[in-house]
Amino acid sequence: MKTFEQLKQKYHYSAILLRQLVITDFKIRYKNSVLGYVWTLIRPLALFAILYVVFVMFLRVGDAVPHYAVYLLLGIILWNYFVEVTNNGVSAIVGKGDMLCKLAFPRYVVVVSGSFSALISLMINLMVFTFFMIINGVPFTWNILWLIPLIIELFIFSLSIAFILSALYVRFRDINYIWEVVLQAGFYATPILYPITLVVAMSPLISKIMILNPIAQIMQDARHLIITQDAVTIGGIYGNTFARLIPLAIVIILALISSVYFKKKSPSFAEEI
């Protein structure tokens, strides 16, 4: 049995380490680049600009949805966060191999630190988003606070996947290629740049499956709450508000599986790298 004191000491160490790793990560990320942190903003905004020109101005995908530009931007920002966390996750353990072989520290810290760095970028991006939202004339309401629980859900979901990927990548070095493909497919399988109503019109079944994806559910909920009531949520598609519990359950189950799996695998990381 561990005493309370010992537990406190253990987490004290993790907390110190986590803080330093996040700081370091942020310091190093844009070292030697002229624009530095501005890149945190430019990257999602550039993607947004491209998609906006192609899909909104030429293909006129979002004509039916009011404030479609902000609608698209929010989707991209949330998706970008997921991509960043999981990509960090893939290389988190292997990338810190040198450290792992020389020091006994709680392994999960390196994965968590990557997701906190991404969270900081997400916050910066959301501030820019709010700015665009106001320019675009979306009425500002306190509904925006709903973003907090939604981001917590997204945080847990992304982190769970990052845990699994990081542990798998130690053994199977093709995970990064596989994950690249999965992310590309995921970008189109998630209603980021098209309104999900398009899918509902084509095949209600497919839309029902699509919205079970926690990211899709989070994205639609966020859009519904802060941009426009026209954004259909999972409740709207199933005709039942409690349908929201399914993606939520997926997140919780995934979180449990990933922590058990990571815990089981982590003692042997140092040898297998």
Partner 1 sequence: MNEDIAISVKNVSKNFKLPHEKADSIKSLFVNPFNKSRNKFEVQHALRNISFDIPKGEFFGIVGRNGSGKSTLLKIIAGIYQPNKGSISVNGKLVPFIELGVGFNPQLTGRENVYLNGALLGFSEKEVDKKYDSIVDFAEIERFMDQKLKNYSSGMQVRLAFSVATILAESDILLIDEVLAVGDADFQRKCFEYFKKLKKHKKTVVFVSHDMSAVREFCDRAILIESSEIIAEGSVDTVASQYSRLFLDIDEETRSNQSSERWGDQRASFRRVKITSGKVLNDSSQTIIFEAEIIANKDIDSLVTGSSITTATGEELCGTNTQHRKVKIEHIKKGEVMKIVWEYPNIFSDGRYTINVTLHGPNGGVVAEWWEGAESFVVRREEKSPFPTTPDIKLQLIRKVS
Shortest CA distance to 90 belongs to which of 198, 7, 27, 178?
A: 178
Does residue 100 touch partner 1 according to CB under 8 A? yes
Number of H helices, E strands in the chain: 13, 0
Distance CA 106, CA 49 (A): 41
172, 206, 209, 245: which one contacts partner 1 (CB under 8 A)? 172
- What number of CA atoms fall less than 13 Å from residue 149's CA on the CB side? 6
Does residue 174 touch partner 1 according to CB under 8 A? yes
The helix/strand/coil state of 137 is: coil
Give strand ranges (E) for the chain. none
Site size toward partner 1 (CB under 8 A) is 30
6, 7, 8, 24: which one contacts partner 1 (CB under 8 A)? 24
101, 145, 198, 205: which one contacts partner 1 (CB under 8 A)? 101
Does residue 171 touch partner 1 according to CB under 8 A? yes
Does residue 189 touch partner 1 according to CB under 8 A? no
Shortest CA distance to 155 belongs to which of 263, 20, 255?
A: 255
Backbone angles phi, psi at 140, to 5 degrees: -85, 125
Buried b (16+ CB within 10 A) or exposed e, 200-226: beeeeeebeebbebbbbbbbbbbbbbb
4, 5, 31, 239: which one contacts partner 1 (CB under 8 A)? 31
Distance CA 140, CA 144 (A): 8
CB of 7 to partner 1, least distance (A): 15
8, 11, 19, 198: which one contacts partner 1 (CB under 8 A)? 19
Does residue 264 touch partner 1 according to CB under 8 A? no
Does residue 267 touch partner 1 according to CB under 8 A? yes
CB of 168 to partner 1, least distance (A): 9
Secondary structure element (H or E) that encloses residue 269, with its range:
helix 269-272
Stretch that binds partner 1, among 40-48, 92-100, 129-137, 197-205 (CB under 8 A): 92-100
Residues forming contacts to partner 1 in the complex (CB under 8 A) are: 12-13, 16-17, 19-21, 24, 27-28, 31-32, 98-105, 171-175, 178, 267-268, 270-271
